[in-house]
Structure 1
Amino acid sequence: MTEHSNEGDEPLESSSPSLSLSTFHDACQEAGRPVLTASELARALERPQRAVFDDLEALSASGDLKRLSVSRDPVVWFPSELEDLTDRERVVVFPKRREIIVDRPDQFTRAQLTQFANLEDTNGEGGYRYVVRPADVWQAPHDTFEALQRTIRQALSRTVPALESWIESQWRRAHQFRLTTHPEGYTVLEGESAEVMGNVARQKLDESHVHAPISDTEDWVREGAEAAIKRTLYEAGYPVQDDRDLASGDPLEFELQVSLRSYQETWVDRFLESGEGVYVGPPGSGKTIAAIATMERVGGETLVLVPSRDLARQWAETLVDADVTTLGPDDVGQYHGGQKEIRPVTIATYQIAGMDRHRSLFDDREWGLVVFDECQHVPSDVYRRSTHLQSRHRLGLSASPLREDDRAAEIFTLIGPPIGTDWEALFEAGFVAEPELEIRYVPWADDEHANAYGSADGRERYQLAAMNPEKVDEVRYLLAAHPDARALVFVDYLEQGRDIAAALDVPFLSGETPHTERQRLLEAFRHDELETLVLSRVGDEGIDLPSADLAIVASGLGGSRRQGTQRAGRTMRPAGGALVYVLATRGTREEDFARRQLQHLGRQGLTVREQTVDRDQDEEATDSDEVGGAGDLEE
């Protein structure tokens, strides 16, 4: 891990009247070396040197420590089992920064930490850095603070009063407001006290949100303003609990025919505790199967919202697959530009669900569960209209609930809190293959293109770098280097896609491709009849390509971090050996874009390498052999 300066924020450790081996390990951790003198230890513990020396002698006599005379100091002390210092799980807490550094944590510790902290980055060598944010505490899956406190102490193996005090204050904030249903059917906003109601809710909300006060702690909510109230108070630092008596839908009875993995069971259990949430996990982690299991447990008619017609078709095929569920074709309908069927399980596109002329069809049916697939889109103006479809249970699915604007929090206010699993745990358990990511810096095809870039500005510069003709040769080179790979080549520009497809003599699938031809190409790829496919942005989301084991990103580096996750994620499947190559034109802003786009993947535990392509020497010169995670790359 990167060494952190304490900046006046010393990691808290429990003190004891006599020295223990654990305390000695803690002091070694602080000093950054496995050997200490008695004077160093005395200063660290703020105890008399004589008393510390006596304790060291006692630990030496018991065999826990060994002593060694050296030339520069009279005696240094070190653990008898020195390897224990490097192999044992170590947790260091910085309360003021609300930061937790963990060295070689086991999966239990990581599972506990993810219940109240966010994994910021890893170093690829067993080091993890977590940060406790307000939203992490608000979304903790516990009914009482005492239960959350037990989880914190289990994860940290001790009490950290300063951190616990801050977490408790955030816990209290998350339980100040709730939405309930009045006996007469309308919605009420309740405050925990008259003070918080007057000083927060009535200062932040206006007549577009509420009609009038009912009491000192209750306001009558305008119909349809619930989502706006939740969003407004969330942004003010007060998440709202949604306890409305929403529709549970007509019964839906079927059986799931596949067994859930342990983490999927945990996802479903956590969702059912609150009735809302977002399953967050890498592609290949089984979010769709977990969602179907949730449908089975909820047992009410279900509406699934998706961003594309292709994804609607894939959902329908999965739901009626006899190896997956006992649902039949008459139980599942699709509602989009191609088909318009309302069934006990209906899959619709966000665009259709948000249109006024179709809305009544969805409003008139009571849904026990609404599933928002690829829910990172929900805050956008086009998609958010679908969120008026409220039900007792709201479930989102996303590999990357990231947005480049400031509206990411809306995903969780409109749908529910994130429910996920440490990505690296999935890699270690073999549920998902960790792809190898490599940024390759490609030279200009010739001076003419380099000069054109130098004289251009703005968007034109970005396009020239993205469409550097040298990338066509690089794609050809990479495919030749992996002759047996099933490859996807991603582009942002139609002209570039056509050029690469023509050079490779392979199909190009874009938004212009007719749906029938699109389905034919995807089926050919799935069934090993097509080894290479060039894709425009239509391939970033909503297309399931489970057999891909090589991805080449030829352009698109100005896109979002979410796009980087989606494209890299096309190789994250249980089969190993997946590779992702990101091409960036050397000496352009694409270099920065490549780092930015993959940086958050490094924080999830993936390793990102950098390679400079040298055409003059018919070989590749290594610019940087390996970056221990994209988190080490400067944005």
Structure 2
Amino acid sequence: MTDESADGMDAVTLESFHDALQAEGRPVATAQQIARRIGCSQAAASEALDRLVTDGRVERLDVEADPVVWYPTEWKELAERERVILFPERRELVVDQPTQYTRAQLSRLAHLVDTSGTKGYLYRIRQEDVWAAPFDDCDALLRTLRSVLPRRSPHLEEWIERQWTRARQFTLTTHEDGYTVLEAASESLMGNVARQKLDEEHLHAPISDTESWVVEGSEAAIKRVLYEAGYPVVDERDLETGDPLDVDLTTSLRDYQRDWVDRFLDQRAGVFVGPSGSGKTVAAIGALAAVGGETLILVPSRELAGQWRTELLEHTTLDTEDIGEYHGGEKDISPVTIATYQVAGMDRHRALFDRREWGLIVYDEVHHIPSEVYRRSADLQSKHRLGLSATPVREDDRETDIYTLVGPPIGTDWDALFDAGYVQEPEVEIRYLPWANDEERNAYGSAEPRAKHRIAGENPAKIDEVRHLLAEHPTAKALVFVEWLDHGREIADAIDAPFVSGEMPHHERDRLFEEFRAGERRTLVVSRVGDEGIDLPNAELAIVASGLGGSRRQGAQRAGRTMRPAGSATVYVLATRGTSEEDFAQRQMRHLAEKGIRVTEQGVD
């Protein structure tokens, strides 16, 4: 080493490197630029920078424009940290490298708009997000917001406070003579909003400048109309409590389940929101025991009715004669009645449910409520209304109807359940696959728009990828989800596994699921029958081979089949590259990302 080289190496210290970058006005620099600023040879600067790389104080990067550029290590660490940028006028937040804490906190008060591109996670705070935010008061909501923002935003906070107040301008109460009264916070609101939006089907006559007499049975309709006008209604009616029900809970609730029940008893209306495996059904049974009144449980299917009966007998002191089922197979109304939404909404059966004074109505899989088929059952009103859903989102953006008709969300951050070990966080990866051959690609390109999605979904390359993933996880219990029956049969034949679909008799399906639970069978291929409404056992590996045109809720439900108290689990979502499946996959997984689950992407050659 020459004296000149040694002197140059001594001159390039971390401090002089920072000075050189500042002089260059760039975050990175080449060895030639550093040498020029410090006053040594390029060779000496390169040797000195390599020494700093070895010490871990500088990073080097090969780029196309220059052979090598250099930058301080702490800048790399800074780039990997979470950054939150607020746009208060648009009420939007861009979060780069968000932590699970930030994602979980924002999921309580903001809507996740996008997770793709270079913008990071894009959140927007909407009116309905503030109205439905699960906080006791506005101060608690603002404290949560401040915990994730780099600095306070008076403009945004003032808007949130206005929305919080707006959601408490109309109240339904019970008059001392027994009829229902709609009360407004001011004469102007009653005259310019309520009496303009509502008609004789909803209101009889004014009682005062701020009160109106409500037509019996129109309460749910009033809630919907005023909500759509931008004014959620607070329901404080003295509703029926039902005949007393002698029941005790025989299962100990987890801390967060007790918190759910306590909050529900305080509010008397709400929706338990939590991931699969978090025990929403058991928490609802805890609420049933705490209310202690005759109960109606609404479910989307007969299979789910049978599962509720089993859970009630397992976790309470109820006897079989205390529990009735009312659906296409049975017609029994008891102190605790489990009915399907379809039957409860039919005119010829409706009077039976209307006459009963229910102390509690439970709406299982409550995300169905806004649909026309199920909506009529929501008009059944009770002192206590409880919904259950892991994923109360809808593709028609009518999930706000759920909170209007049933109650506000009550739930624990998914992230908190992961951290506490109650539910294990799955690893979710979207895999983009090429076409199996030119013939398939050409068929997709020439197909009608409606046929394209199925051709992409049944890309033969997915069969090889399913085989590959199963081989990578040779001991894992695996569920392979498909959308179409032919595709399911094809994959099942290829991997020598049973295909479970709606065409399979119930007893055979139950047998396969029991064998899967017991570890006697390692792999099942499952159609959309596995998305909800049946007791599908949790898996260690889930592969979504097709069905990416489904809802965000469907994606979360399928991923939820891997959520359980112990052990790691993996979800692979297969999408054909360059097709609509890419967008569908990102949309489905975005809801999981909002809940604090990390979603990665990978291309497959």
TM-score class, shorter-chain normalisation, is 0.7 to 0.9
1-structure distance, mates of 2:309, 2:544:
30
- Indicate which of 529, 533, 542 corresponds to 1:551: 542
**Quick one: which of 196, 202, 210 aligns to 1:203?**
196
Which of the two has higher C-alpha Rg? 2
Residues 527 and 328 of structure 1, relative CA distance in 2, 3 Å threshold: farther
Secondary structure of the corresponding residue to residue 372 of structure 2:
coil
Change (3 A) 1:105 1:344: farther
Match of 2:318 in 1: 327
Specify which of 400, 405, 410 is matched with residue 391 of structure 2: 400
Where does the alignment leave 5 or more consecutive residues of structure 2 unmatched? 1-17, 23-74
Name the residue aligned to 1:588.
579
Q: Which residue does 2:46 correspond to in 1?
A: none
Say if 2:591 is the partner of 1:567. Answer: no
Distance 1:167 1:235 in 2: 18
Say if 1:197 and 1:101 are closer, same or farther in 2 by CA, change over 3 A: same
Query: Match of 2:474?
Result: 483
Letter in 2 for 1:550: L
The offset of 1:299, in angstroms, is 1.3
Q: What's the TM-score, normalizing by structure 1?
A: 0.76
Tell me if 1:426 matches 2:438.
no
Aligned counterparts of 1:575 and 1:403: Cα–Cα separation in 2: 30
What residue in structure 2 maps to residue 410 of structure 1? 401
Greater shift in the superposed pair: 282-291 or 336-345: 336-345
Q: Please report how far the alpha carbon of residue 234 of structure 1 lies from its aligned counterpart in structure 2 after TM superposition.
A: 1.1
Task: Tell me the percent identity.
Answer: 67
User: Residue type matched to 2:259 in 1?
Assistant: T
1:193 equivalent to 2:154? Answer: no
In the superposition, relative to structure 1, how do residues 516 and 357 fare at CA in structure 2: closer, same or farther (>3 Å)?
A: farther
2:325 matched to 1:312? no
Within the candidate set 505, 508, 520, 1:517 is matched to: 508
From 427, 430, 449, the counterpart of 1:436: 427
Partners of 2:497 and 2:523 within 8 A in 1: yes
CA distance in 2, matches of 1:102, 1:540: 31
1:238: how far off?
0.7
Return the offset for 1:426: 1.6
- The 5 Å alignment of 1:341-380 reads 341-380=332-371
Unaligned runs of 5+ in 1: 1-32, 38-81, 615-635
Q: Deviations over 1:36-84 (max 9, x none)?
A: x9xxxxxxxxxxxxxxxxxxxxxxxxxxxxxxxxxxxxxxxxxxxx9x9
Distance 2:472 2:93 in 1: 42
SS of the equivalent of 1:523 reads: helix
Deviation at 1:562, TM superposition (A): 1.0
Contact 1:302 1:368 in 2 (8 A): yes
Question: Aligned pair in 2 of structure 1 residues 142, 590: CA closer, same or farther (>3 Å)?
Answer: closer
Structure 2 vs 1, CA of residues 252 and 104 (structure 1 numbering), >3 Å: closer, same or farther?
Answer: farther
**Cα 1:91–1:454 shift into 2, 3 Å:** closer
Amino acid at match of 2:434: P
**Selected match of 2:455 from 464, 473, 479:** 464
1:552 corresponds to which letter in structure 2? I
Does the CA contact (< 8 Å) of 1:110 and 1:422 recur in 2?
A: no
Cα separation, partners in 2 of 1:107 and 1:339, compared to 1, 3 Å:
same
Structure 2 length-normalised TM: 0.79
Residue 389 of structure 1: aligned partner:
380
Q: Write the distance in 1 (CA, Å) between the matches of 2:144 and 2:486.
A: 54
Cα contact 2:304–2:533 (8 A) shared by 1: yes
Aligned-pair CA distance for 1:186 = 2.8
How far apart, CA to CA, are the structure 1 residues paired with 2:546 and 2:101? 40
Question: What's the counterpart of residue 167 of structure 1?
Answer: 160
Residue of structure 2 in register with 1:239 after alignment: 232
| Alpha-carbon shift at residue 120 of structure 1 (Å) | 7.1
Q: Describe the superposition over 1:242-299 as per-residue Cα deviations: whole angstroms up to 9, x where unpaired.
A: 1122111111232223332222222222212211111111111111111111112111
Give the conservation status (yes or no) of the 8 Å contact 2:435–2:577: yes
Cα-to-partner distance string for 1:439-496 (whole Å, 9 max, x where unaligned): 2222333332222212112111111111223322322222222221111111111111
Q: C-alpha separation between the residues in 2 aligned to 1:585 and 1:151?
A: 40
Cα distance in 2 between the residues matched to 1:435 and 1:357: 45
Give the Cα separation in 2 of the matches to 1:424 and 1:166. 28
Shift of the alpha carbon at 1:565?
Answer: 0.6
Task: Tell me the number of residue pairs that the alignment of Structure 1 and Structure 2 aligns.
Answer: 532
Q: Per the alignment, do residues 167 and 610 of structure 1 end up closer, same or farther by CA in structure 2, a change over 3 Å counting?
A: closer
Which whole-Å deviations, capped at 9, do the CAs of 1:544-583 have from their partners, x for residues lacking one?
3343111111110111111111111111111222111111
Structure 1 residues 511 and 172, CA, compared in 2 at 3 Å: closer, same or farther? same
- Give, in angstroms, the shift of residue 241 of structure 1: 0.7
Instruction: Tell me the residue number matched to 2:593.
Output: 602
| Cα distance in 1 for residues equivalent to 2:587 and 2:137 | 39
Cα 1:516–1:97 shift into 2, 3 Å: same
> Aligned partners of 1:122 and 1:251: how far apart in 2?
49
Per-residue deviation at 1:413? 0.6
Letter in 1 for 2:205: A
* Farther off after superposition, 283-292 or 218-227: 218-227
Deviates more, 1:515-524 or 1:555-564: 515-524
8 Å CA contact retained: 2:103, 2:596? no
Shift of the 405–146 alpha-carbon distance from structure 1 to 2, 3 Å rule, reads closer
What is the letter of the counterpart of residue 446 of structure 2?
S
Q: Secondary structure at the match of 1:220?
A: strand
The 3 A distance-change label for structure 1 pair 86 and 586 is closer
> 1:119: Cα distance to partner?
7.1
Q: AA paired with 2:212?
A: D
C-alpha deviation, 1:377, in angstroms: 0.8
Deviation digits for residues 366-396 of structure 1 (CA, Å, limit 9, x no counterpart): 1111111111111011111211211001111
| Equivalent residues of 2:132, 2:403 under 8 A apart | no
C-alpha contact (below 8 Å) 2:138/2:164 kept by paired residues: yes
Q: Does 1:223 align with 2:237?
A: no
Alignment deviations for residues 112-132 of structure 1 (CA, whole Å, 9 cap, x no partner): 877655677899xxx998754
Query: 2 CA distance for matches of 1:106 and 1:579?
Result: 20
Let me know the Cα RMSD of the aligned residues: 3.4
